[in-house]
């Protein structure tokens, strides 16, 4: 395995056999032997309106995607509102507010200041290859493995399974006819994986951000960094949103780069910088359409973490990742 082969431009040129061999080496050398590995599959995902051929793998009960590295990625935003049209600066949302509520933007300079204040600074970053969870999870969920219905086998944290086997099997029996997206018991959250005739099993946890980070480190994982978040969500876009520089439509907001789920408007996503949350809901009232959709920009940073750190009422989520760095 050569680091150059894990860069996006070269990865795209490799044969399927060479991609598979390199991915096997990534799993061998960068995934802890204590982590259960399941369902390795080739997949095709969207990258800047092209197709990226890569791999999906399930690690300790979560789906991960391999994203090749990329040198000199442009991140951040400093152009304010100059790319928006004048009628977009003050377009009202469907949330009317009183004059003394929220913020009031009166001119282009104020709009530009607002955008620049709530987006990260321009910078150029060499991005390593990553194994990254397809979706972020609520901060009080910890993936522990997968229970396969056909053979009754649990793949994952076996100590956890021995402790909660009876509770899990009782929960599955009681919910066997359920059509819910997930169901829960005192200690467990269980999500059906219909395509695999299996169940994704989470443990309910109540950990601080630091304790959760330490737990992930013990498993060989980390939170995404702010740079990694912007790259994974934006796929290297140089526009304010993935869809361009104009207020995105609902359909455009459905686009997901690299096949990753960034449903981040309900919860703030933790990063490995304790002072930076990414995504999340609007923090300034929501009088304008711009306020409502700016959080969907890869470069949005609310600044909220520095104000409410350790506030357990803030809805948060996290995404496990493994950087692939050859020394």
**Helix, strand, or coil here: 165?**
helix
Per-residue confidence (pLDDT) for residue 312, from 0 to 100? 53
**Range 307-310 contact pairs with CB under 8 angstroms and sequence separation of 24 or more:** 309/274, 309/275, 310/208, 310/209
pLDDT tens digit string along 153-195?
999 999 999 999 999 999 988 877 667 788 999 999 999 987 7
pLDDT at 52 over 70: yes
**Mean per-residue pLDDT over the chain, rounded:** 90
Asked whether the beta carbons of 177 and 95 are under 8 A apart, the reply is: no
Per-residue confidence (pLDDT) for residue 96, from 0 to 100? 79
pLDDT grade, residue 31 (50/70/90)? very high
Per-residue confidence (pLDDT) for residue 264, from 0 to 100? 59
Per-residue confidence (pLDDT) for residue 311, from 0 to 100? 54
**Which stretches does DSSP call E strand in the chain?**
37-47, 50-59, 62-67, 70-75, 123-127, 129-133, 137-138, 141-148, 153-156, 183-184, 188-193, 198-204, 222-223, 268-270, 277-279, 316-318, 320-324
pLDDT grade, residue 46 (50/70/90)? confident
Per-residue confidence (pLDDT) for residue 247, from 0 to 100? 93
Q: What share of the chain is helix, strand, coil (3-state, %, to 5)?
A: 30, 30, 40
Q: Is 286 left (phi over 0), alpha (psi -120 to 50) or beta?
A: left
pLDDT at 38 over 70: yes
């Amino acid at each position: 395995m050569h680091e150059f082969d894990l860069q996006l431009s070269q990865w795209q040129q490799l044969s399927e056999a060479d991609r598979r061999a390199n991915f096997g080496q990534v799993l061998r050398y960068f995934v802890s032997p204590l982590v259960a590995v399941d369902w390795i599959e080739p997949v095709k995902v969207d990258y800047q309106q092209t197709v990226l051929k890569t791999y999906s793998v399930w690690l300790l009960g979560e789906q991960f995607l391999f994203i090749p590295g990329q040198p000199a990625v442009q991140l951040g935003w400093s152009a304010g509102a100059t790319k928006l049209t004048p009628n977009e600066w003050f377009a009202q949302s469907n949330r009317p507010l009183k004059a003394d509520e929220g913020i009031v933007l009166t001119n282009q300079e104020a709009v530009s200041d607002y955008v620049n204040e709530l987006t990260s600074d321009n910078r150029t970053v060499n991005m390593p290859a990553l194994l990254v969870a397809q979706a972020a999870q609520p901060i009080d969920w910890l993936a522990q493995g997968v229970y396969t219905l056909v053979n009754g086998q649990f793949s994952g944290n076996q100590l956890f399974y021995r402790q909660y086997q009876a509770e899990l099997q009782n929960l599955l029996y009681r919910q066997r006819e359920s059509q819910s997206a997930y169901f829960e018991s005192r200690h467990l959250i269980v999500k059906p994986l219909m395509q695999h005739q299996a169940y994704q099993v989470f443990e309910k946890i109540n950990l601080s951000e630091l304790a959760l980070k330490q737990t992930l480190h013990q498993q060989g994982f980390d939170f995404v960094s702010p740079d990694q978040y912007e790259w994974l969500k934006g796929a290297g876009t140089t526009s304010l949103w993935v869809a361009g520089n104009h207020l995105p439509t609902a359909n455009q907001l459905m686009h997901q780069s690299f096949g990753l789920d960034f449903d981040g408007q309900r919860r703030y996503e933790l990063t490995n910088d304790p002072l930076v949350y990414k995504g999340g809901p609007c923090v300034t009232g929501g009088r304008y359409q711009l306020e409502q959709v700016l959080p969907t920009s890869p470069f949005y940073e609310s600044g909220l973490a520095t104000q409410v750190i350790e506030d357990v009422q803030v809805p948060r989520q996290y995404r496990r990742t493994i950087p692939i760095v050859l020394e």
